Every structure is written in C-alpha cells, then in structure tokens.
Amino acid sequence: MEYVAGIDVGSTQAKGVILDERGNLVSKAIIDMETNMGAAAEEIFQRVLASANLEASAIVFTVATGYGRYRVTFGDLQVTEISCHARGALAEFPWTRTVLDIGGQDTKAIRIGDSGEVIDFAMNDKCAAGTGRFLGAASFALEMPLSELGPLALQSTRPVRITTTCTVFAETEIIGHLAKGHLPEDVLMGMHHSIATRCASLVRRVGLAPEVTFSGGVSRNQAMVVLLQEVLGVPLNVSAQAQFMGAIGAALYALDHVRAGRRPEHLVKEGAR
Amino acid sequence: MSAISTMTEGLDARTTGQRLVNQWLASLGTARERGQPVAYVFVMGNAIEILRAFGFEMVFPEINSLQTGVRKAAPDFIAQAEDFGFSPDVCSYVKADVGLMLSNMQHPSGVQMPVPDLAVASSLCNVYIKWAEIWERRFGTPAFVLDIPGKRFATWKSPAGSPQHLADARWVEGQFRDLIARCEQITGKKFDSDRLAEVEAHVNEMIRLWIEILAFNQHRPAPYNSMLDGLTYMGVLNAWRGTLEGVEYMRLLHAEIAGKVARGEGRVPHERFRLVFSGTPCYVNMRRLIELFESHGGVFAASDYLTYAAGGLDSAGLFYDTSRPLESLAEVTTLASQMGLSNHFFSHHALAQQMKDFAADGIVYHGIKSCRTVATSMADNREYVTTKHGMPTLYIESDLIDPRYWSDAQIKNRVDAFFELLEQRRNLQSIQER
Amino acid sequence: MMNDVEVSTGGIDAADASMTLMAVLERCFELAMRTGVADQEQPGAIGYFPVYFPEEIVHAAGLRPHALLGGGNKLEVRLADARIGSFVCSICRSTTEQGLNRSLHGMKGFFTQPICDAAKHMAGIWGRNFPAQPSQILALPQNVNSSASVRYVYDEYQRLRSVLAAQVGHDIPDAAIRASLHVYNENRRLQRELYRIRRDDPARLSTVETYLLVRAGTRVRREEHNQLLRDALRLLAERPVRPRDKPRVIFLGGFCEQPPLEMIETIEDACFIVDDDLLIGQRWITEDIAADDGDPVWALAKSYVEHSASSPVQFDARKPKEEMLMRMLRDARAEAAIITAAKFCEPGLDDQLALSHRLDAEKVPYLVLEFEEKMTSFEQMAMQVETFAESLLFQ
C-alpha cells in the first residue's frame, strides 16, 4: 500500500492529511501556526504520520499548499490553495461547481468545472473586512470567544446596519451602537451581514453555479451559513472537514501524479522564491 | 553618418533604446542653457508634431514619474506630496511629480528637470488636466487643454472623412491653431508648415515600422515581451517621436525583431502560454511582475498599453498626409483618439480581437488603485469577456509606482493559480480532442 | 419623513401658510428622494450622469431628463461591487447597482459626460450590462476657451438631438426647442430667487429645503416644477421668521455624489449656508438663453461656453478655482468656508487642496470634511462643525 500527503501551511493554521492509494482518508492533523513556517510544516507532517502510524518513507508523494507552500522543504510539488480547495470540495460534494472559502485572513471564491478544474477565481486578501478578521474585531469588542458569535447573532430580531468597511473602525462602530442601546445580537448580526454581502460579491464575480460549497474556518459559524444562503439565494454545502479541504485537495493532486506514474524524481523542482 | 550608430555598435535594440531614453532625459537638463523652450506633454494625446516644429524640448511628466518608480525613489516623493496635503487616493504619478517639485526638480535620474514654458494637457485622461492645474499654481505656466473627442459608445464608428469625423477633426484643428498662436507667442517664431510636414514624415515612418513590430509578436514563439521589452521600445517611440533618431531606432528594432522571427527565436526559452495584458505596468516591480509569468513559460504577446500609451496611431492605421500637414494632423489625431486612446472605456471588443490575432490563451488584467482611467471598469470588462467569450482571465492589482500596493505573495499566488487553471484547461482540451 | 427638518413657524395666521408650505416641501421631499424610473413611465425618461446636461433638448423631444444622483444612504449595494473597483467614488457604484437591481429598468437611454475618468467608464459599464438602453458619452469639451468651442458644442448638441429624435421616432423641431428654452429660463430664474433668499434672508429658507426644492425638479416635468417653485416662493414670502445668530458660511464640494441630507442638516444646525454648489448642474447656465434669436441650439451651445457656473470637473482658464471661491465668499457675504469632497473623487480632492491654500493665504477660516453618499453616522462630523462654528463666533 502506498500513501500520499497533503500539507496546507496557512497564515493561522497548518493542516496535514494522508490518503492511501485508493484515496481513503487515513489521518489528519491541525496545529496553530508558529512564526517559522518551515518548522510548522515539519511538525504537522510528523503529527499526521504519527496519527496514521506510518514512517515518512511510506509517503510516495507530497503536495504542499497554502501561503507557506514554498517553505515545505519535503514537499514534492507546490499547488495553490485555490486549486486545492476546488479539488477538495469536489471530492466531498461531487455536484459542487462554486466554492466560497472564508478564512481568518483571506476569502476566496472559486468556480470549478466538472473535473474539478478551476474556471475562474477571485480573492479578497488585502482587506480584512469580508474575512474572518472582521469577526475578530467583534469578538474583541464584545469580549466573547469567536465560537459564540454565531449562536448569539442568530438570536437577533432587528439587525443593525453596519456601514464601516474597515476592520480598524469596526470596533468603534460596534461600541457606538452598543452605547446607543442596541442589543449585542443585533449588532453582531449586522456585522455578519456585512461580511456575507462582501463575500457574496466575490461569488458573483466568478459567477454562481450550483451547488455552492462554503468552506474555511468561518463555515463553522451557523449565522454565516444562514445569511449566505439568504444573500446568495441558494442552499450551501458545508463540510464537517471544512478546515482540511485544502490539504485534502493537495493530497488528491499528489494521488493524480502517482496514478499517472509520475514520481517526485520525474519533476523539475521549482525552488522557493 | 547615422545619428545613433556610433553609440550603439553591437548593442541590441533594447539596450540602445534605454540609452536613447537616458540621452533624451539628460538633454532635458540642459534645455534652458541651450535656450530651448520646454513643453510638458502627455502620452495620450498631445501635439508633439507641432511642438517639434517650433523647436520645443519635450518633457513627459508621466515618464518622469514612472522613472521614480523604476529607480525606487517613488516612496519618498509620494510621501512628500501627501505631507503637502494630497489625498492618498490621488493618482500616484501626480504625487510623484509633486514630490519632484518639492525636491527642487531634482529627478532620481540625476537630471534637474526644467520648468515648462507650455503645458499641453489632453482630455484623454481628466487627471492630466488637474495635473496641469497644479503646474499653473507652481510654475505660473498657463495650461493648454486640448480636447480630443473620443468614442461615444462601444460600437462608435466614425470613418475617416465621414461628417462626424470631420466635425470632430475641425474642432481639434481649431485648437491646434490656438496652440500654434500660443507657440508663436512663446518662441517668437512663426509657424513653419514645411517643418511640420517634415516631422510628420518621420512619425509616419516610425509608425509604419511600429505596426509591423507589433504584428511580429503574432508569430510563435513571440520574439519579445510586450510588457517588458515593449516598454523600452515604446519609450523611444514617445521621447523621440518625429525625429531622425527615432526613425533610425525603429529601423534597427524592426531588423532585429524580424531576424528573431526568421530564426524562430522567442523571448521565453520554452513558450507555453501566450497572453494579452490589459492595463499599465507596475513600474516599481516591472521585472518581477514579468518574471512571475515567464517562469511558467508565459509571455505577453500583446497589450493594450502599447497602443494607448504610444499615441494610439497604430490603431488608426492611417498616416499623416504631409501635403496638408495641419489638417491631416487634426484628422489623424481625432481617429487615434477614437480608435486607440479612448478604448479603456469600451475595450472588451478590442481585447477579444487581440486574443484572436495573437492566438492568446488568456488575458491578464492589471488594476491600478490610483488610476481610475485604466481600472474603473476593469472588473466589469473582465466579467464580460470571461462570460461572453469564455476566455480565461486573471485579475491582479497593484499600482503604477507606489510599492505599498505590491504584495508579492498575494500576486504570486494568483499568478500560480492562473497557470494551474491554464494547464488544466489545456489538458482537458487535449483529452476532448482525442 | 420630514420631522427632522426645521421649518420656522409661529403666529396664528402663519399656521395655514406653514401647512401649505409644508405640503409643498413634503411633495418635493417625496419627489427628490425618488431614485428609480418606473417601467411604465411614458413617454419615457433619459438618465444622465452628473454634472450638467442640456435638458432642454430632451424636454423638447417630449422625454423627461432624469438626473442620476446616486443611491443615497439607504441603498444596499450588493451586485455592483463585483463590477467596479473599490477605489472609485460611491455614486458610480450605486448608479450601477440601480441598473443591476432593475430600479432604472424604465429608462430609455443613459448619458454620461467627460467630467472625470470614472464617469467615462460608466458608459462602457452601462452598455455592456444594459444593451437595451442606448448608452453614450455626450462629449462636452474640457476646452471652452477656444473660438471654436461653441461650434463644437453645437455639433455635439445636434448629434444628441438626432439620437433623441431616433428614440422618439420623429424630428424635434426648432420651435419645440425654443419653447423648452423658455421653460428652463424661467426655472433657472426661480432657482436664482431661492438662492437670493438664502443669501439675503437665510433664516427664511434652509439649505436642505432649497436642496429638496431644486432636486425635485429632476423628477417631474419642468413645467410642474416651475409651479412648485412659484408656490414655494409665494409661501416663503409669508413665512414668519425667527432671527438666529449663526455664522455665514459657503459650502463647496463638487457634488456629483450627493451628501446625505443629514450632513447638510448637521452643518445647518451650527451655521447659515448662504451659498453652495449643491446641484450646480441644475443652475449651470447663469443667464437667460436667447430663445428667440436665431438657431436655438446655437444659443444653447453658446450659453454653455459663455454663461456657465464653475466646477472642479470643468476646466476653464477664465475661472481659476481660487478666484471663483473668493468671489463666492464676497458675493454671499460669508465669513468662512466649508470644503468637502467625496471619497475617491479625484477632481474634488485636487481642488480641495488648492482652495485650502488660498484660504490660508487670505486668512479665511475654513473646515475640510470628507463624505460618502452612504454615510449613516454623523456624530464625529457634528462635533467638528460645532467646534468650527464656535471658533467663528468667538472671533
């Protein structure tokens, strides 16, 4: 039995998965990022191997993805997380043709073809509004953990309209609304709505083709799921393994190469720049 | 004896071109000493032919500003302009120029830029006019605004000699006459129509060669990268427009590129993907931007930049009729404006055509945060081209010269993903063809 | 509704007069705040992007000129963000949104002018997305200082005339244009009267009221608007007025993008705005156009070149912005200026700096504000304005 690995080195977390030669998920692991991306990559690899009870030599092909993909020294190939998310989403939801991934630092909308190939993509990674970081500002202002924001927002009956488009001023606006006597849930729902609107705009830019999959850390926020479905007007697929979608996609690319008879030694290595 | 051969024996066209641009910049620094009047002009719409006939030395503030980007001096100049009170949202070229003014006109090329006797601001970019207003206040040089009517809508057709064309050309000619009167005032010389015809003859030859040079890139592999080598060629086209040196350079360049085509020599060793570029370069990271594409075997065979930033004459496909120099100048300028220079607003058809002509695999749109002329409707244009023509497109964003807007990791990510998309597409197409 | 707009009242006889004036103002508010064009509007509306448009020609064709003034601060922009870059003024985005959300579906055509680069792009965006509505640039010149300028504007106006004639299916005779010129001359005279009151008797008529009175004209036929203005002026004359002691300021901002009403109110709480360039396009022509002498289209073109107001988006060597500013301060007998520009408005932001420098040199107090049409919170602005007004009162 041969195995492949997918390593996703993001800006907030590092994830790893191992698949067997038939594409079955053997193990997965996730850690918070350290400042040294190379070290984090090494660590996640060790964890996912340990979890599978395998030696490194059992892995015949490793694909690295995420912003830190070039820091994965043991990676055989680097593929962007855009392609990997598309692939990972299709594997779990074979009818999905659009993926919206809202992470802590960036958001991507990807339109994919029948074979999981990327047709178009759009990203928001310069501005924090429209990413998970906007919720981070809310978490700070309300002194609540991120995981509690969604459930509280869902209790809102009169959402407040949030007009600030900059995360820097979001806290000030939230505090202002609370001072005026608005309920926290209404303010929160307003913030969620603001994010949903911006993300929906990204989706429209690439073209909404059903089914739509919502992935990334923020997909665990139930309020976001509800709002996005409302704003986009279609139901959303949400994976229980949303955080691993990129790593799974990477591993699937590795499997492609193995099945095509291509081994790492056949590749011309592209060095990190 | 050729004007440029002595200095360029054995050098390739690109290096020669760079030397010519530097030579021209250096000569600007001595214009005052030589008693030459100085005109500030812009690349999209000007009356260089008239100004050359009067012996003006031409300063291109756009080139000054892009050079501050290339030479890494932009951040300081921009900071000075913002301290002076200019909003961060204002065009970065303008801010770099304000920084130059605040630095006693000392340009990072080492040249002390002369102040203008005349500033000609065309209406092809409204910021040109606001820019000229800044010079009015700084130097006391009255702005001459040259209004050149552009395309009114996407399918606008105004064929040469049609009533609409002649009405617009009459307007442009009227303004040219006003400009001539102003030049006579400034220089004390009378307008010489023969001299204008001479300058126009040189431009005609340069444009004839330029059109062929642009077309050479339709060959496979493309002999040059329109967004790297092409920029130098274009720099000479602008700075030396209407001169003997300019003609000689274009002949040199033409011969060199023709040779490459004959030998099948491409810009990129293994050309894998041919691309069209829409927008401006990122001058502060010019090479890096191209490297990100060339490292994947991608070459920019064509770009709309080489048309609109080079005067647009190639789009008109017309040449000056030197037997009626002033009338013809007005007629051709009007056509160039409508077919080439004002195309940012309606460029979807032209880009699709370029894709066909150059057998391109995709279009790269480069949005500029501080340039609304180039980038306002890029996202919409892209959406239209992607949907209606099913063409793969990439959108990346930075700035002309402000390094604060360049995010290497983010841009590389998008470029890499785009090439993955192109590869996947090609693989699928070859599977389908089997 | 109108609750937060201050209307001077007092006295027994005044009650009826105020109620009727209130009715006029409420009607104007309702009209002014209409942003869409009904599908079934007949014979049809032609939308035009700021600043100025030769409405008389549209009027003579029997169509209604509909000034596109953006989506205000109640419109939710959902679809336009995918089409337009983020570094573009909001009015471009909200206008595109109104196209995409079908609220302008009833329009019979769309025009924009070369006021700035973003505006020129609107013609391309509109044409690609709404091919059923002819979308064009009316190429008004940025050079009005040539002896050839009038002829050029004339030719472009005749081109517009033939486009509209094709739209309505019949020629637009000179007689119709003459009649329209008369209607609009009257309209501009009535607007000038409103501004005279603001300057000479500012407690009688507020800027918000003026704004609504003027903006309403972009939503109805001019004849109806003339009647509204005549009624308003009559009732204003009878309005009892409570004198207030507030500093006199002018308010300049280019204003393609419209400031929220709350912004104007915030300033008026502390100051009398005795002159401004709000909706300047509506009173762009500063003198009566000679409707009955010779070619009426020539007269219209001539007025554009020779009798027009000034704006950051129109270059005119005869009207340096600093001179126009000082003249307005003088003529309006204002002691200070409030200068603003819409976020990302390049012409406005450039001019703002030049004006600030001149005001510094002349030692005229001024306040600089930035705004966006979609602002909803004004506490910060109120604080700035109040502080500014206090500093004026204490001089």
In tens, the pLDDT along B87-105 reads: 999 999 999 999 999 999 9
Q: Is the peptide bond before A206 cis (omega within 30 degrees of 0)?
A: no
User: What pLDDT was estimated at residue B137?
Assistant: 97
| Higher pLDDT, residue A262 or C129 | C129
Identify which of C73, C82, C374 has the shortest CB distance to residue A201: C82
pLDDT in the model for residue C6: 39
Confidence of residue B190 (pLDDT cuts 50, 70, 90): very high
Kindly state whether residues A225 and A265 are assigned to the same domain: no
A126 and A206 share one domain: yes
Beta carbons of B410 and A125 less than 8 Å apart: yes
In terms of Cβ atoms closer than 10 Å to its own Cβ (0-12, 13-18, 19+), residue B6 is: exposed
Dist CA C23 CA C31 (whole Å): 12
| CA distance linking residue C375 with residue C72, whole number of Å | 9
Residues of A in contact with B290 (CB under 8 A): none
CB contact under 8 A, C353 and B129: no
Lowest mean pLDDT among A115-119, B423-427, C255-259: A115-119
Task: Decide which of A170 and C372 is more confident.
Answer: C372
Q: How many angstroms from the chain centroid is the CA of residue C248?
A: 21
Same domain, A119 and A232: yes
Q: Do C376 and A205 lie within an 8 Å CB cutoff?
A: no
DSSP calls for C93-138: HHHHHHHHTTTTTTEEEEEE-TTSHHHHHHHHHHHHH-TTS-EEE-
Alpha-carbon Rg for chain B, nearest whole angstrom, is: 21
CA of C90, closest CA in chain A: separation in Å? 13
What average pLDDT does chain B have?
94
Residues A131 and A207 in one domain: yes
Residue whose entry in the numeric block shows the structure tokens 């006889």: C13
- The confidence score (pLDDT) of residue A273 equals 31
Quote the CA–CA distance of C306 and C100 in Å, as a whole number.
38
Put simply, whether C376 touches A (Cβ < 8 Å) is: yes
**Residue A136 pLDDT class (50, 70, 90 cuts):** confident
- CB B421 to CB A273 under 8 A? no
CB distance B256 to B13 below 8 Å: yes
3 state SS of A126: coil
Note the pLDDT of residue C168.
94
Residue of B nearest to A204 (CA): B383
For residue A125, the model assigns a pLDDT of 65
**Residue C2, pLDDT score:** 39
- Are residues A73 and A123 both part of a single domain? no
Read off the pLDDT band of C391 (50, 70, 90). Answer: confident
C-beta separation of B143 from C317 below 8 A: yes
One domain, residues A102 and A182: yes
**B288, closest residue in chain A (CA to CA):** A273
When divided into structural domains, chain A yields a total of 2
Phi-psi sector, B317: left (phi>0), alpha (psi -120 to 50), beta:
left
All residues of chain A having their beta carbon less than 8 Å from the beta carbon of residue B410 are 123, 125-126
Q: Residue C110's closest chain B neighbor by CA?
A: B153
Q: Mean pLDDT, to the nearest integer, of A59-68?
A: 92
Q: Is the pLDDT at B2 greater than 70, yes or no? A: no
User: Each residue of B44-68: b (16+ CB within 10 Å) or e?
Assistant: bbbbbbbbbbbebbbbbbbbbbbbb
Contact (CB, 8 A) for B311 and B237: yes
Asked if residue B418 lies in contact with residue B295, where contact means CB atoms within 8 angstroms, the answer is: no
**Residue A165 in 3-state DSSP?**
coil
d(CA C240, CA C13): 9
Chain A residue with minimal CA distance to B408?
Answer: A273
For A122, name the nearest residue in chain B, comparing CA atoms only: B395
Q: Given a cut of 50, is residue C1 above it in pLDDT?
A: no
The identity of residue B278, as a single letter, is S
Pairing relation of β-strands A118-124 and A107-112?
A: antiparallel
Q: Are residues A223 and A100 in the same domain?
A: yes
Is pLDDT above 90 for B411? Answer: yes
Mean pLDDT over all residues of chain A? 87
- Number of C-beta neighbours around residue C167 at 10 A: 18
CA distances from A247 to A65, A67, A81, A130, A220 (A): 7, 12, 8, 23, 18
- Mean pLDDT, residues B358-377: 94
Q: Is B367 helix (H, G, I), strand (E, B) or coil?
A: strand
Given this model, what pLDDT does residue C4 score?
36
Q: CA C357 to CA C321: how far, in whole Å?
A: 11
Cβ pair B14, B229 in contact under 8 A? yes
C78 reaches A (C-beta below 8 A): yes
Q: Which of A140-144, A222-226, C144-148 has the lowest mean pLDDT?
A: A140-144
Structure tokens at B304: 């709309």
Sign of CA dihedral C302, C306, C309, C313: positive
Closest to B326 (Cα-Cα) out of B129, B202, B177, B185: B177
C 49-78 near B (Cβ less than 8 A):
none
Residues A260 and A151 in one domain: no
pLDDT at site A126: 63
pLDDT digits (tens, 9 = 90+) for B257-281: 999 999 999 999 999 999 999 999 9
Q: Do A126 and B407 touch (CB under 8 A)?
A: yes
- Report cis status (omega within 30 of 0) of the bond before B221: yes
Number of Cα atoms under 13 Å in the Cβ half of residue B36: 18
Helix B61-70 / helix B92-102 crossing angle, nearest 10 deg: 90
Supply the pLDDT for residue C11. 35
Cβ-defined contact of C124 to B345 (cutoff 8 Å): yes
DSSP string, B251-315: HHHHHHHHHHHHHT--SSTT--EEEEEEE---GGGHHHHHHHHHTTTEEEEEESHHHHTTTSHHH
In chain B, residues with a C-beta closer than 8 Å to the C-beta of C145 are 145, 178
| A109 and A123 together in one domain | yes
Name the pTM for this structure.
0.89
Check: CB of residue C121 under 8 Å from CB of residue B376.
yes
Q: Are B96 and B131 contacting, i.e. CB atoms less than 8 angstroms apart?
A: no
Inter-CA distances, C51 with A136, C139, C286, C288, C392, Å: 42, 13, 15, 19, 32
> How distant is the alpha carbon of residue A237 from its chain centre?
14
Per the listing, tokens 């000030």 go with A172
Q: Which two tokens stand for residue C98?
A: 């109104």
Weakest mean pLDDT among A12-26, A84-98, A154-168, B352-366: A154-168
Better-predicted residue by pLDDT, B8 or A262: A262
d(CA C339, CA C370): 9
* Phi-psi domain of A233 (left: phi exceeds 0; alpha: psi -120 through 50; beta: other): left
- CATH number for position A111: 3.30.420.40
Statement: residue B316 has pLDDT above 80: no
How far apart CA A6 and CA A25 sit, in angstroms, is: 11
- Give yes or no: residues A253 and A223 share one domain: no
Q: Is the pLDDT of residue B205 over 60?
A: yes
Residues A152 and A226 in one domain: yes
Please give the single-letter amino acid code of residue A201.
S
The SS3 assignment for A2 reads coil
- What confidence score (pLDDT) does residue C19 get? 60
Q: Where are the beta strands (DSSP E) in B6-65?
A: 38-40, 57-59
pLDDT in the model for residue C377? 86
Measure the CA–CA gap between B132 and B115, rounded to whole angstroms. Answer: 12
Residue C3: per-residue pLDDT: 37
Average pLDDT, chain C: 93
- Specify the DSSP element, H or E, that contains B393: strand B393-398
Element containing residue A5 per DSSP (H, E)? strand A3-9
Neighbours of chain B (3+ CB pairs under 8 A): A, C
Q: pLDDT for B103-150, tens place per residue? A: 999 999 999 999 999 999 999 999 999 999 999 999 999 999 999 999
User: How confident is residue B69, by pLDDT bands cut at 50, 70 and 90?
Assistant: very high
Average pLDDT over residues A2-10: 94
| Residue range of the domain that includes A266 | 1-93+244-273
The interface pTM score, or ipTM, of the predicted complex is 0.95
Q: How many Å lie between the alpha carbon of A166 and the closest alpha carbon of chain B? A: 16
Question: Do residue A207 and residue A105 come from a single domain?
Answer: yes
pLDDT of residue A144: 87
What would the mean pLDDT of B230-248 be, rounded to a whole number? 96
Beta strands in B95-186 (DSSP E): 118-122, 143-146
Position B393 scores a pLDDT of 95
Of C142, C155, C343, the CB nearest to B123: C142
- B427 dihedral zone (left: phi>0; alpha: psi -120 to 50; beta): alpha
DSSP B190: P
Q: Which chain B residue has its CA at the smallest distance from C146's CA?
A: B175
CB contact under 8 A, B421 and A83: yes
Q: Is the pLDDT of residue C14 over 60?
A: no
- Alpha carbon of B366 to those of B303, B371, B379, B397, B422: distances in Å? 11, 11, 10, 5, 18
What mean pLDDT do residues B200-229 have? 97
Name the C residues in 120-139 with CB < 8 Å from any B CB.
120-125, 127-129, 134-139
Q: Do C142 and B145 touch (CB under 8 A)?
A: yes
B407 touches chain A (CB under 8 A): yes
Handedness of CA B335, B341, B344, B349 (dihedral sign): positive
| Out of A160-174, A252-266, B327-341, C49-63, least confident range | A160-174
The pLDDT tens digits for C337-347 are: 999 999 999 99
Q: Which residues of C touch A128 (CB under 8 A)?
A: none
pLDDT, tens only, B140-152: 999 999 999 999 9
